[in-house]
Amino acid sequence: MLKDITIGQYYPGKSILHRLDPRMKMIMTFVFIVALFAASNKIGLAVGAFIVIIAYACAKIPLKFLMKSLKPIIPLVLITSVLNLFFLTEGNALFRFWIITVTTEGISFAVVMSVRIICLIAGTSLLTYTTTPIALTDAIEQLLAPLKKIKLPVHELAMMMTIAMRFIPTLIDETDKIMNAQKARGADLETGGPVKRVKALVPILIPLFVSAFRRADELAIAMECRCYQGGEGRTRMNHLKMKLIDLWAGLFILACLAGVVCINIFL
């Protein structure tokens, strides 16, 4: 049951987007978010939506996969558009009913908002779809490297993320085992009200925590035995390298941002 949980929804592939430098992808995602919020009219947003569609086509990610990430935000999209629809009462009234006034302005604003939210989620999910967790961690470590100057433990953060990802499957397995062990001792995990069920989790969580601490201790010793002494003086086997294609991708996204700004000013 717990095996179904997947963390970091990486979709394996060999497309241009998969091959781009993860640092550039993170920067591009950031620029893309800025562009989405900078776009104040429909044409600007259309550009944003267009980028998303092109990107998904490039990465060859199936529609089903995209829908999975959009599903949780459908209620949010609906609520925002309904609120916008009913409470934006300026402009040409299309029809009035009781206290509700629907205006053309309202409709267009609701559409703009929905498109913006959908593009935002679809665009940012693309980053995790096309980048392995380990590449993401490396990228974060390197992009945040300047923050070491203000004593932010960047390397330690990245190491923590790597270890966390490494131990997710191990701990999930362990949880499964503990659950079975407790069931074998007569623990009832599936019936009863919410309070009873939460209480039933206690005998699972306690052994899980105890074993996680023991693992942490052993791992720390094993890491020390392998000469680990923090980020100082550490080299890497695989270096991230910016290639020409990364440069072009960066220029492309900057051009899009510039385009959106121009559309804002001139249209």
Partner 1 sequence: MQESAILKTEDLKFRYNRGEEPADAPWKFVLDGISIEIERGSFVAVLGHNGSGKSTLAKHFNAILLPESGKVYVEDIDTADESRLFDIRRAVGMVFQNPDNQLVATVIEEDVAFAPENMGIESKEIRQRVDDALKSVGMYEYREQSPAQLSGGQKQRVAIAGIIAMRPDCIVMDEPTSMLDPRGRREVLGTIETLRGRYGITVVLITHYMNEAAMADRLLVMNEGKIILDGKPLEVFQNIDLIKSIGLDVPQSVELIHKLNREGLNLRTDILSADDCADAIAEYFLKNRPASGCKGAAYMRVLK
Pick the closer one to partner 1 by CB: 10 or 30: 10
The reply to whether 96 sits near partner 1 by the rule CB under 8 A is no
The reply to whether 237 sits near partner 1 by the rule CB under 8 A is yes
Pick the closer one to partner 1 by CB: 103 or 137: 137
Nearest one of 218, 236, 213 to 159, comparing CA atoms: 236
The reply to whether 3 sits near partner 1 by the rule CB under 8 A is no
Structure tokens at 115: 């498109």
- Residue from 149, 235, 244, 266 in contact with partner 1 (CB under 8 A): 235
Pick the closer one to partner 1 by CB: 228 or 248: 228
User: Alpha-carbon distance 129 to 65, whole Å?
Assistant: 9
The reply to whether 219 sits near partner 1 by the rule CB under 8 A is yes
Pick the closer one to partner 1 by CB: 107 or 208: 208
Q: Segment contacting partner 1 (CB under 8 A): 35-43, 95-103, 164-172, 187-195?
A: 164-172
The structure tokens 């919410």 sit at 194
Long-range contacts, stretch 39-45, CB < 8 angstroms, 24+ apart: 39/116, 39/260, 39/263, 39/264, 40/264, 41/112, 41/263, 41/264, 41/267, 42/108, 42/111, 42/112, 43/263, 43/267, 44/260, 44/263, 44/264, 45/112, 45/115, 45/116, 45/119
- Residue from 134, 144, 145, 261 in contact with partner 1 (CB under 8 A): 134
The reply to whether 162 sits near partner 1 by the rule CB under 8 A is yes
Minimum CB separation from partner 1 for residue 159, in Å? 8
User: Alpha-carbon distance 77 to 67, whole Å?
Assistant: 14
Residues near partner 1 (CB under 8 A): 133-134, 162-163, 165-166, 169-170, 215, 218-219, 221-229, 233-239
